[in-house]
């Protein structure tokens, strides 16, 4: 089973940027988002608030990771690779803090959609995929860094957050908000777009009533604003505005 998971992990590490959006779109198309929970619109609103808080927690966790100690997660030529063993910043709190943040975002998106099948299948599927990716990374890191990595694994949890270690692991480090924007704007943008698209899907699933038309227009306006802002940040990055941050840790 471990060998199969390693193969899955290697595959999804290489193709996750293409596969993940397709999986999410397929799941969301398979069933429309819910409009009530147990027949109650109030419960639906409460569920959506909880979902948004989970998504926010994931984004904040990712921002904290990148703001203190960013590491490139794309590997080398789309294969698992690491030049150094990074253990400072949030990597002293959790061995995979970016993946934990991602799982919170995905779980929140699935819960926001609301269909029980989407919530269960989506959360379990992405949890399994990330575990496979982690196995592939762990094998590489263990082979390259040996006992140093083994000691790191003994001290820092794979999925959990050892918050008691946060102060020590970030001592002497400064949080870099500009780096968060430069490195994570695409994740923030895609998350907002997914939420807005899901909400518009919910409103327009059957037909847009006169009462819902204004809300639908607002959703479209916000969507356009997010896309425009994303394009602006991307253009600034290509112009070299964030060049000095690329070299910064």
**pLDDT at position 249 over 80:** no
**pLDDT at position 246 over 60:** no
pLDDT at 247: 41
Q: What is the signed CA dihedral for 147, 150, 155, 159, rounded to 10 degrees?
A: 150
Higher pLDDT, 154 or 208: 154
Q: What is the pLDDT of residues 160-170, one digit of tens each?
A: 999 999 999 99
DSSP string covering 12-30 = HHHHHHHHHHHHHHHHHHH
Reduced to 3 states (helix: H, G, I; strand: E, B; else coil), residue 84 is coil
pLDDT at 83: 82
HEC string for 103-115: HHHHHHHHHHHCC
Rounded Cα–Cα distance for residues 83 and 76 (Å): 10
Q: pTM for this one?
A: 0.91
Per cent of the chain over pLDDT 70 is 94
pLDDT at 154: 96
Q: What is the pLDDT of residues 96-144, one digit of tens each?
A: 999 999 999 999 999 999 999 999 999 999 999 999 999 999 999 999 9
């Amino acid at each position: 089973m471990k060998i199969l998971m390693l193969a899955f992990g290697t595959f999804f590490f290489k193709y996750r940027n293409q596969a993940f959006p397709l999986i999410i779109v397929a799941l969301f198309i398979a069933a429309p988002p819910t409009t009530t929970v147990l027949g109650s619109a109030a419960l639906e609103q409460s569920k959506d608030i909880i979902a948004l808080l989970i998504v926010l927690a994931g984004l904040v966790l990712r921002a904290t990771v990148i703001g203190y100690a960013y590491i490139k997660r794309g590997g080398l030529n789309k294969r698992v690779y690491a030049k150094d063993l990074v253990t400072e910043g949030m990597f002293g709190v959790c061995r995979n803090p970016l993946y934990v943040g991602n799982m919170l975002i995905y779980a929140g998106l699935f819960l926001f959609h609301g269909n029980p099948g989407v919530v269960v299948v989506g959360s379990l599927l992405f949890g399994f995929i990330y575990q496979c990716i982690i196995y592939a990374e762990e094998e590489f890191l263990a082979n390259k860094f040996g006992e140093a990595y083994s000691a790191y694994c003994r001290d820092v949890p794979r999925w959990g957050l050892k918050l008691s270690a946060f102060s020590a692991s970030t001592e002497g480090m400064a949080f870099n908000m500009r780096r968060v924007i430069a490195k994570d704007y695409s994740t923030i943008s895609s998350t907002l777009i997914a939420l807005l698209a899901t909400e518009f899907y919910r409103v327009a699933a059957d037909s847009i009533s006169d009462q819902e038309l204004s809300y639908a227009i607002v959703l479209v306006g916000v969507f356009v604003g997010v896309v425009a802002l994303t394009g602006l940040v991307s253009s600034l990055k290509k112009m070299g505005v964030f060049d000095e941050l690329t070299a910064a840790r």
